[in-house]
Amino acid sequence: MRIGAHVDRADPLAEAAARGAEVVQFFLADPQAWVAPEERTDTAALLATDLDVFVHAPYRINVATLNNRIRIPSRKHVADYAAAAAQVGAKGLVVHGGHVDKGHDVADGIANWRKLFTSAKEQFPLPILIENTAGGDNACARKFDALARLWDAVGEFNVGFCLDTCHAHAGGEELLGIVDRVKAITGRIDLIHANDSRDPFDSARDRHDNIGAGEIDPDLIVAVIRAAGAPVVVETPGGAEAQKADIDLLRGRST
Ligand SMILES: [Zn+2]
């Protein structure tokens, strides 16, 4: 079982060491901005590490939207961040499932996801890992009926799946048996985001909490990790000390 954390991008390997992590995830720039990936000085070390490295794409990316002013830069950002993530040896680029605006049809958003791949000049150099999201009525990867339609459209393009336990709970998908339900749709789970949720089931709110501190029974998170057999990242608050405690708890219960 390989478990780690989402950490600050300044020095991910030092942050991983401080947490006893075997997996590390980070951003390549300010996740709230429309900016290019930053130059890195630790590329050689990241390529040489035994850790599993994952990169999380900026939050503004919304591949699905019918709004050209967001969708067009989103496509360019996915391509640019995929290239930069591959350069540091990442195993996948995590991209949120996205949504269409109120009054628009999710089917059009799913068609836009397909166009991300069919319109790309070349194949992305690493798998794009689509992450389930917590909120919105018009999301592509919140409820699994929409996820199934999304996968019908993109499954052929070496797409992976990132399952976030907080987002599933807050998004209204039961964690009990969820790995089987996901795999029946996607055939794969590439990464688990193991997060507790501050908010109730189906609340549509995305507020992560430390394992056991929120609304989710930690045994359910452990069961998800065990069943998935994929690398695990905690995206929990509290810095190195609190994340190390989360990692230790999950490792202790899942082995
Ligand atoms: Zn996540």
Ligand 1 centre to CA of 159 (Å) is 17
Strands (E), 83-231: 93-96, 128-131, 159-164, 191-193, 196-197, 208-209
Ligand 1 centre to CA of 164 (Å) is 5
Ligand 1 centre to CA of 193 (Å) is 5
Ligand 1 centre to CA of 103 (Å) is 27
Domains of the chain, first to last? 3-238 (3.20.20.150)
Residue-wise pLDDT for 65-93, tens only, equals: 999 999 999 999 999 999 999 999 999 99
pLDDT band at 223 (very low <50, low <70, confident <90, very high): very high
pTM: 0.97
Ligand 1 centre to CA of 237 (Å) is 12
CB atoms within 10 A of CB 240: 18
Residue-wise pLDDT for 241-250, tens only, equals: 999 999 999 9
Ligand 1 centre to CA of 235 (Å) is 6
- Pairing between strand 208-209 and 196-197? antiparallel
Ligand 1 centre to CA of 105 (Å) is 25
Whether the CB-CB separation of 98 and 135 falls below 8 Å is answered with no
Ligand 1 centre to CA of 197 (Å) is 11
